């Protein structure tokens, strides 16, 4: 079962007053304490806010604090033109010897687009995206279009966490830069000359000091370390050198005398021959390998560099993909490896590139550090430095929720009817505020159910035969209008078509859709009845709607595609084919590109939903069937009426809402569902 990292949303104090420990970064009336770098965007103070106006033909602009900050908590409010992109820089720098002074460093993204990565972490001018919000739907839906939004950033040691309007967003572990300035970014807009604006106000910070690296190897001798039998460890010219002959069967180790529990360690090494590793939370044992515990892999060939191996345990836990290894590892050169072990979360970086990140490490959480010389190999490895990160403030330790136990359906759970009197209900979707929208297709109406009041109201009339619904970041509602043969977008009271044709030919009758968390949408286009005129496309297919209204064919390997769903890791697309009476699955090679079609379940279905464990809920026959990620039927849920579609919502997302012919129903389950 995939484990989801829980971040507790903190009570946010009023931005109108500064509590003890907080300091304002903006006095509300001037730009005192700020310096502009980069482009020529216009920054002015208006109505108690800093307003940045984009100007044509200039690169990204940054209004930067005059001083640097290390560990801190930052809060502010912002409002942005929906057509812009911006961000909040922190721990950022502008250095003469780096790209001629280009501003670079961490940025909390401001993204009002359909992608909705506002609150994610982008490494400006360096590595690009390091914490997108692909798998954080609650955070993607937290941003409010055309309104003031509240941001919170906590940077403590190598822990960087963000919140958008009180909703947890990013939870990044990264120590590439530990201090720098804070900046308000106005993104370049090319030749655009209409002056779109971004504004910031109530900017305040709590300075928590600075984290620093402290040496564990003094560069002179083995003080603080103890060698085990096997191989040789020596210090010469400030370099710790380990060697071992192929005739030596034992693993030669250099163990730290001190034990460490939660920590972040950084080592600069050069592996010239053989296989080595950095052990942590290791326990000495009477065995040829000498210790039991985790090892961050070091090897001269780079085959598994930066991977995680558990000696006398699970073996390989994470083996980095070849593309990642090639990008991260420098053969024959000095490499920098960072290992962060805090609670159950283990993160490894190699030369600034993340190679491993696990959320639920088992085993002991305290032990020795150790450097390894693999037995039976020609070993030659060098260490220039070994350091540990000291953080003055308590670093947050992630809390992993216990996995759901028991059956999918709690004992005694039954459906409750929420509404009736419809002709044929379909397309349930949870909105950003927790309400549930659904359609009555024959009556051309969209209804909305409020769990707080139990009331159901008409949301839209004359829907064009709307079926599948999808809320996207920014507050827009997308609808598959089967009769109108298009997908529409509703923004407030405005409803506009998004796409209605493929290669100049009208779509058949769009049926269901799902967001891929990256700004794209998969949708099915079967043909039911004589929807809106003569048929123009011979094939009934699955399409991918990219940014804006660009459309590509995802797959034509279907006969009559209906419901569509994604696995929790966004790597598998499921499509219900009602003509074939099969659920098909594809691997997602890249957004909109599918491969390796296979039968997932020998079952028909209309709509589908997925829970956090990856179980697939199918609406078929007199009820719903539940299938494990392995394709095994694990549960049956009888329904008062034949169900058409389903979606999760409610407290902890554990309520399954079901549209079933003339009624609208709900049942409470044990396992939370994915937020679509």
Three-state SS string across 177-233, please?
A: CCCEEEEEEECCCCCCCCCCEEEEEEEEEEECCCCEEEECCCCCCCCCEEECCCCEE
Q: Classify strands 416-419 and 379-390 as parallel, antiparallel or unpaired.
A: unpaired
Task: Quote the domain boundaries for residue 224.
Answer: 213-390
Please count the structural domains in the chain: 3
497 in a domain, yes or no? yes
Within a domain: residue 13? no
**Residue 14 pLDDT more than 90?**
no
Q: Which residue has the higher pLDDT, 468 or 362?
A: 468
Long-range contacts of 395-398 (CB under 8 A, 24+ apart): 395/156, 395/157, 395/158, 395/159, 395/262, 395/342, 396/154, 396/156, 396/159, 396/161, 397/262, 397/342, 397/343, 398/5, 398/6, 398/7, 398/171, 398/342, 398/343, 398/344, 398/345, 398/359
How does pLDDT run across 28-42, given as a tens digit for each residue? Answer: 999 999 999 999 999
- One domain, residues 515 and 624: yes
Residues 122 and 253 in one domain: no
- Of 210, 225, 246, which one is at a domain's C-terminal end? 210
> What is the chain's alpha carbon radius of gyration, rounded to the nearest angstrom?
28
Are 370 and 458 within one domain? no
User: Looking at residue 20, what is its pLDDT?
Assistant: 52
Report how far residue 616's alpha carbon sits from residue 202's, in angstroms, rounded to the nearest whole number.
45
Whether the pLDDT of residue 6 is over 50: the answer is no
Using one digit for the tens of pLDDT, what is the confidence trace for 198-224? Answer: 999 999 999 999 999 999 999 999 999
Q: Is residue 177 part of a domain?
A: yes
Residue 237 C-beta-side C-alpha neighbours within 13 Å: 1
Q: Are residues 245 and 182 in the same domain?
A: no
Clarify whether residues 593 and 444 are in a common domain. yes
- What's the pLDDT score for residue 45? 98
How confident is the prediction for the chain on average, in pLDDT? 93
> Is the pLDDT reported for residue 15 higher than 70?
no
Q: Both 187 and 222 in a single domain?
A: no
**What is the predicted pLDDT for the residue at 247?**
95
pLDDT at 368 over 50: yes
Question: Between these two residues, 510 and 530, which has the higher pLDDT value?
Answer: 510
Q: pLDDT tens digit string along 501-523? A: 999 999 999 999 999 999 999 99
Give the pLDDT band (50/70/90) at residue 12.
very low
CATH number at residue 443: 2.120.10.30
The confidence band for 13, taking pLDDT boundaries of 50, 70 and 90, is very low
Checking if the pLDDT of 7 tops 50, the result is: no
Taking every pair of C-alpha atoms in the chain, what is the biggest distance, in angstroms? Answer: 84
Domain shared by 217 and 206, yes or no: no
Domain-ending residue, one of 188, 210, 232: 210
- Structure confidence at residue 621 as a pLDDT band (50, 70, 90): confident
Select from 191, 210, 229 the last residue of a domain. Answer: 210
Question: Is residue 395 situated within a structural domain?
Answer: no
Are residues 67 and 202 part of one domain? yes
Residue 286: what pLDDT?
Answer: 84
- 86 occurs within a structural domain: yes
Query: CB neighbours (10 Å) of residue 312?
Result: 14
* Same domain assignment for residues 190 and 272: no
Kindly indicate the confidence band of residue 401, based on its pLDDT and cuts at 50, 70 and 90: confident
Q: What pTM value is reported for the model?
A: 0.93
Q: Based on the fold, state whether residues 447 and 538 are members of the same structural domain.
A: yes
Residue 396 located in a structural domain: no
Task: Name every residue whose Cβ is closer than 8 Å to that of residue 17 and which is 6 or more positions away in sequence.
Answer: none
Do 590 and 497 share a domain, yes or no? Answer: yes
Tokens 């304002």 belong to: 24
User: Is 618 within a domain?
Assistant: yes
> If residue 328 lies in a helix (H) or strand (E), which one and from where to where?
helix 322-328
Question: Are 89 and 120 part of one and the same domain?
Answer: yes
pLDDT reading at 549 higher than 70? yes
Q: Does residue 145 belong to any structural domain of this protein?
A: yes
* Digit-coded pLDDT (tens) for 146-165: 999 999 999 999 999 999 99
What pLDDT score was predicted for residue 532? Answer: 64
């Amino acid at each position: 079962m995939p484990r989801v990292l829980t971040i507790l949303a903190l009570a946010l104090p009023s931005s109108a007053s500064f509590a003890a420990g907080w300091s304002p970064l903006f006095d509300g009336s001037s730009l005192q304490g700020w310096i502009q770098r980069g482009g020529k965007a216009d920054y002015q103070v208006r109505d108690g806010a800093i307003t940045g106006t984009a100007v044509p033909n200039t690169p990204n602009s940054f209004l930067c604090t005059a001083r640097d900050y290390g560990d801190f908590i930052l809060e502010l409010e912002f409002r942005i033109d929906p057509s812009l992109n911006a961000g909040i820089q922190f721990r950022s720098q502008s250095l003469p010897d780096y790209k001629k002074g280009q501003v670079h460093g961490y940025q909390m993204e401001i993204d009002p687009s359909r992608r909705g990565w506002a609150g994610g972490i982008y490494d400006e001018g360096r590595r690009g995206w390091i914490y997108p919000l692909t798998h954080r739907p609650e955070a993607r839906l937290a941003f409010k279009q055309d309104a003031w939004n509240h941001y919170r950033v906590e940077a403590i040691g190598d822990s960087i966490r963000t919140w958008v309007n009180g909703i947890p967003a990013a939870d990044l572990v990264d120590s590439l830069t530990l201090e720098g300035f804070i900046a308000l970014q106005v993104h370049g807009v090319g030749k655009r000359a209409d002056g779109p604006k971004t504004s910031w106000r109530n900017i305040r910070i709590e300075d928590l000091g600075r984290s620093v690296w402290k040496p564990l190897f003094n560069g002179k001798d083995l003080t603080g370390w103890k060698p085990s039998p096997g191989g040789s460890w020596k210090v010469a010219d400030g370099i710790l050198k380990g060697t071992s002959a192929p005739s030596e069967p034992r693993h030669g180790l250099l163990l730290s005398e001190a034990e460490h529990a939660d920590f972040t360690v950084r080592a600069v090494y050069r592996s010239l021959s053989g296989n080595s590793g950095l052990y942590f939370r290791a326990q000495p044992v009477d065995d040829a390998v000498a210790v039991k515990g985790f090892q961050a892999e070091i090897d001269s060939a780079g085959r598994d560099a930066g991977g995680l191996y558990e000696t006398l345990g699970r073996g390989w836990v994470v083996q980095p993909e070849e593309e990642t290894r090639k990008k991260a590892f420098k053969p024959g050169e000095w490499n920098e490896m960072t290992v962060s072990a805090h609670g159950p979360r283990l993160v490894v970086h190699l030369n600034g590139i993340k190679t491993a990140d696990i959320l639920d490490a088992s085993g002991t959480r305290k032990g020795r550090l150790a450097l390894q010389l693999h037995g039976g190999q020609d070993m030659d490895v060098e260490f220039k430095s070994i350091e540990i990160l000291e953080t003055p403030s308590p670093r947050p330790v992630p809390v992993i929720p216990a996995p759901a136990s028991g059956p999918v359906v709690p004992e005694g759970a039954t459906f409750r009817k929420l509404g009736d009197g419809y002709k044929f209900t379909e397309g349930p979707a949870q909105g950003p505020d927790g309400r549930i929208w659904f359609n009555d297709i024959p009556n051309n109406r969209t209804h909305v159910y409020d769990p707080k009041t139990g009331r159901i109201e008409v949301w839209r009339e004359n829907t064009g035969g709307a079926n599948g619904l999808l809320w996207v970041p920014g507050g827009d509602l997308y609808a598959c209008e089967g009769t109108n043969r298009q997908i529409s977008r509703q923004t407030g009271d405005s409803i506009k078509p998004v796409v209605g044709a493929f290669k100049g030919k009208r779509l058949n009758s769009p049926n269901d859709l799902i967001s891929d968390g990256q700004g794209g949408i998969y949708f099915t286009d079967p043909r039911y009845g004589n929807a809106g005129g003569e048929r123009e496309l011979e094939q009934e297919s699955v399409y991918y709607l990219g940014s804006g209204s660009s459309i590509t064919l995802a797959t034509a390997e279907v006969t009559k595609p209906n419901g569509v769903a994604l696995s929790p890791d966004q790597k598998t697309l499921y499509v219900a084919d009602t003509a074939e009476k099969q659920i098909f699955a594809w691997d997602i090679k890249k957004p909109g590109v599918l491969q390796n079609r296979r039968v997932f379940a020998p079952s028909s279905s209309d709509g589908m939903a997925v829970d956090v464990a990856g179980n697939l809920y199918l609406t078929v026959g007199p009820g719903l069937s539940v299938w494990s990620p392995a394709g095994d039927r694990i549960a049956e849920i009888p329904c008062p009426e034949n169900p058409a579609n389903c979606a999760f919502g409610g407290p902890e997302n554990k309520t399954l809402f079901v549209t079933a012919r003339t009624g609208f129903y709900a049942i409470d389950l044990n396992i939370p569902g994915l937020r679509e």
